[in-house]
Amino acid sequence: MQQWLESLHPALLALIRVLLFVVPILLLVPGFIWLERRLLSWMQDRIGPNRTGTISKNFPIKFLRGKKTFGLLQPIADGVKLFFKEDVTPKSIDRLIYFVAPALALFPAFALGGTLPWGPSHGLYGLLTPIANVDIGILYVLAISSLGVYGVVLAGYASNNKYSLLGGLRASAQLISYELAMGVALACIALASGSLRFIEIVETQEQALFGALPAFQNWFVFTPYGLLAAVIFGICMVAETNRAPFDLPEAENEIIAGYHTEYSSMKFAVFFMGEYAAMFVFSGVFATLFLGGYNFLPVNWQYLADQGGGAAGLWQFIANAQYWLSPVFFLLKAFLGMAVYIWIRATLPRLRYDQLMFLGWKTLLPAAVVNFIAIAIWIMVSKVQNPVLGTLAALISYVVLFFVFKSFIGTNKEARALEKRTVTYAQFPTKPDSEPAAAQ
């Protein structure tokens, strides 16, 4: 297998790599839709789709007759429905841009994973993944995710509908705001791992936990700076994919359906597909950056096996299984990310526009910058002095920067009071004197 792959022309091998990434996503998108509907209904204490795919009374195997299959065929039914729906195209639209926009929304979702590894860099998987092992892995993800806004904005513009336009404008403002915090959070990881390649980031996470426990892996989510970066990146990730609670561009109770109001049938389905594919690939990026990529548990099985002892054979077996099953583990982590996306959607109400901007610019961005400075101090002091002093310096810098940030946020109370737009019940201008008179 490996020799055959090595003998292939590089272009053909690259094509195989692309297909191995894109085809599974295309096949999994219906699964995501099913997962979302089932999980949402479970979380909201509803039944959800459970009838589609009920096995018929005439099925040859007797004990399966009349059994329900958790609505597994629901996404296929949805797909068929969307495909046969009437395709309404409004008259006064910008035709070219109107038709290009769904494709532009789909492109970044699939291109995003171009540098993402779903298996180890040595052996067979080294040939099959990532699609391009370039020096600019993280920057590539940032660049492509920033292109995601075009599909939405152009759809909003070309539809020639004020609600669509509002949705498009909201999307562009939202994506620009959250890209910055995302970029700084990614820069923290680049600093900590010393590389922009995803493969090397995963290999950094396979090193000894806190530099002291070689049996365990140092996933970035276990370290304080990595945890903060993970939280920031996670929030920005949800905002970048326009998912609840950041689904202002398609807020159905404010602007109908936002940018895809005028899209029907398959063109709407393409937007839908792009959203789910982007969610999945972003979950994969999150898993690679913070959750140790394709490693199932944060344990260095190979190290344990090399230590010898009675269980060395077992550790060696697990280490081999870890290598060969790594794509499965990567998929599992990405599915975990999808489940968290759905969980967040079921839990949190939609943000208001000013809350969105406050969160993006005044909370996430300063937090990410504080994290960045603390990591830089930690690395510098660790390299010049020793790791213990470095950790101490990083902790002190966290505290100092937090109070600096607090003092800045609290300085202009008048301006904040003016910006505060939440209306509480007590603030309503009630007229106790005139109301009974009006009632009479």
Instruction: Kindly report the three-state secondary structure assignment for every residue of 10-25.
Output: HHHHHHHHHHHHHHHH
**CB nearer to another protein: pick between 334 and 364:** 364
Structure tokens at 247: 């689904």
Q: Which of 20, 22, 72, 97 is in the footprint of another protein by CB under 8 A?
A: 97
Q: In the structure, how many helices (H) and strands (E) does the chain have? A: 19, 2
When asked if residue 96 is in the footprint of another protein (CB under 8 A), the reply is yes
Structure tokens at 370: 């504080």
Q: Which of 173, 325, 339, 357 is in the footprint of another protein by CB under 8 A?
A: 173
Q: How many CA atoms lie within 13 A of 17 on its CB side?
A: 27
When asked if residue 135 is in the footprint of another protein (CB under 8 A), the reply is yes
Could you give phi then psi for residue 136, rounded to 5 degrees?
-120, 35
3 state SS of 73 = coil
Residues 194-223 contacting another protein, CB under 8 A: 196
When asked if residue 18 is in the footprint of another protein (CB under 8 A), the reply is no
Tell the smallest beta-carbon distance from residue 219 to another protein (Å): 24
Q: Which of 13, 142, 344, 346 is in the footprint of another protein by CB under 8 A?
A: 142
Where do the H-state alpha helices sit in 85-216? 95-111, 124-128, 137-158, 162-193, 198-205
When asked if residue 160 is in the footprint of another protein (CB under 8 A), the reply is no
Side chain identity at 117, as an amino acid letter?
Answer: P
Size of the site for another protein (CB under 8 A): 32
When asked if residue 12 is in the footprint of another protein (CB under 8 A), the reply is no
Q: Which of 312, 412, 431, 435 is in the footprint of another protein by CB under 8 A?
A: 412
Q: Which of 318, 113, 348 is nearest to 239 (CA)?
A: 348
Q: What share of the chain is helix, strand, coil (3-state, %, to 5)?
A: 70, 0, 30
Could you give phi then psi for residue 357, rounded to 5 degrees?
-70, -40
When asked if residue 363 is in the footprint of another protein (CB under 8 A), the reply is no
Residues 286-325: x/- map of binding to another protein (CB under 8 A)? ----------------------------------------
Tell the smallest beta-carbon distance from residue 103 to another protein (Å): 13
Q: Which of 21, 34, 110, 150 is in the footprint of another protein by CB under 8 A?
A: 150
When asked if residue 172 is in the footprint of another protein (CB under 8 A), the reply is yes
Q: Which of 1, 415, 437, 439 is in the footprint of another protein by CB under 8 A?
A: 415
When asked if residue 376 is in the footprint of another protein (CB under 8 A), the reply is no
Are the beta carbons of 299 and 47 closer than 8 angstroms? no
**CB nearer to another protein: pick between 35 and 149:** 149
183: CB partners within 8 A, 6+ apart: 142
When asked if residue 176 is in the footprint of another protein (CB under 8 A), the reply is yes
Tell the smallest beta-carbon distance from residue 147 to another protein (Å): 6
Alpha carbons 362 and 225: distance in angstroms, whole number: 19
Measured on CA atoms in the order 385, 391, 395, 398, is the torsion positive or negative?
positive
Alpha carbons 278 and 151: distance in angstroms, whole number: 13
When asked if residue 168 is in the footprint of another protein (CB under 8 A), the reply is yes
Are the beta carbons of 153 and 100 closer than 8 angstroms? no
Tell me the window of 67-75, 145-153, 337-345, 375-383 that interacts with another protein (CB under 8 A): 145-153
Structure tokens at 107: 């492109």
Q: Which of 23, 88, 136, 396 is in the footprint of another protein by CB under 8 A?
A: 136
- Cα angle 214, 216, 217 (rounded to 5 degrees) comes to 100
When asked if residue 357 is in the footprint of another protein (CB under 8 A), the reply is no
When asked if residue 179 is in the footprint of another protein (CB under 8 A), the reply is yes
When asked if residue 157 is in the footprint of another protein (CB under 8 A), the reply is yes
Tell the smallest beta-carbon distance from residue 401 to another protein (Å): 17
35: CB partners within 8 A, 6+ apart: 335, 338, 339, 342
When asked if residue 360 is in the footprint of another protein (CB under 8 A), the reply is no
Which residues of the shown chain bind another protein in the complex (CB under 8 A)?
A: 94, 96-97, 134-136, 139-140, 142-144, 146-147, 149-150, 153-154, 156-157, 165, 168-169, 172-173, 175-176, 179, 196, 412, 414-415, 418
